[in-house]
Structure 1
């Protein structure tokens, strides 16, 4: 168990390092490399990771509170049962990341690459996903109530049983969605019908 508080690191290479069970508080990492690092059960609080590379890292069971991961790469990262509470993830790439069992509470996930990720049955209420790419993602039975889905890419996403009530869906191409079993509110249903040319009186 180790603890770092109020530290700043730039261009540090931590590839394949054993960083398990650590606690980071208010630390800043800029353009650091964590490729293949063992970071199981690490906790971060109020930290900033800017353009860091987590490709192939093991972050399963990690907990992050009010931390920022901006423009980071999580390609093939293991985030199994990890937890993000009010975190800022804008611009980060989660292609082929393992997100099964992840917990996301609030936070800003705008402009993220979440193509084909597994988020079925997840509680995603109130999260900001503005212009995120969720193409092909599995969102079956996900709770997306009051989420900001402005201009999100949802082509070929699995939405059966998802709850979209109260979600902001400006700029969504409803014609590309399979909404079978999706829960919508009245406003969304009207926008959906109008996208197919229906006249609502």
Structure 2
């Protein structure tokens, strides 16, 4: 186990290093590579990763608290049982990553690519998904109360049993949604009906 604190790295390749069980606090990484790296059960606190590459990395069981992953690539990374607590994930790409059992506690997931992700039964209350791509994502029985889904792409997303009450749905294409068994509040129901041309008084 190792502990790094207040360190800065730029254009460093960590892919071949053993980083499992480590702790990173207030560290900065710019354009660093963790490709296919071993980061199981790593803990980050207040760290900032900018344009870093985590493709194929093993990050299962990792915990991230108030860290930022901006414009990072997580393609085919293993994030099984990982936890992101109030993290800033803007612009990051999770295409093909393993997200089963991972946990999101609020945070900013704006502009992220989460297409085809399985987020069933996730507690996503209060998270921000501004203009995120959640197309074909499975959100069955997910709790999205109070989440910001402004202009979020939800085409062919599976929402059966999801709770959208108090979520911000401005700019969402309601015609692309299957709302069967979805919980909505009164204002959302009105928006949905108006999207189909209904006149609601």
Using structure 2 for the length normalisation, give the TM-score. Answer: 0.99
Unaligned runs of at least 5 residues, structure 1: none
> Would you say the 8 A contact 2:144–2:163 is kept in 1?
yes
Task: Please state whether the residue corresponding to 1:124 is helix, strand or coil.
Answer: coil
- Where does structure 2 lack aligned partners over 5 or more consecutive residues? none
| 1:146 corresponding residue in structure 2 | 146
The equivalent residue for 2:65 is: 65
Question: Quick one: distance in 1 between partners of 2:114 and 2:12?
Answer: 27
1:7 Cα offset (Å) = 0.2
Q: CA deviation at 1:37?
A: 0.2
Residues 75-107 of structure 1, C-alpha deviations (whole Å, 9 max, x = no match): 000000000100000000000010111111111
**Which structure 2 residues correspond to residues 1-201 of structure 1 after superposition, within 5 A?**
1-201=1-201
1:17 offset after TM fit, Å?
2.2
- Where 1:188 maps in the other structure, the secondary structure is helix
Cα offset for 1:160? Answer: 0.3
Distance in 2 of aligned mates of 1:153 and 1:112: 11
Deviations, residues 156-175 of structure 1 (Å, cap 9, x unaligned): 00000000000000000100
Work out the CA distance in 2 between the residues paired with 1:15 and 1:102.
Answer: 22
Q: Describe the SS at the equivalent of 1:187.
A: helix
Distance 1:192 1:106 in 2: 25
DSSP 3-state at the match of 1:189: helix
| RMSD over aligned Cα atoms | 0.5
SS in 1 for 2:161: coil
Partner of 1:194, secondary structure, is helix
8 Å CA contact 2:15–2:38 kept in 1: the answer is no
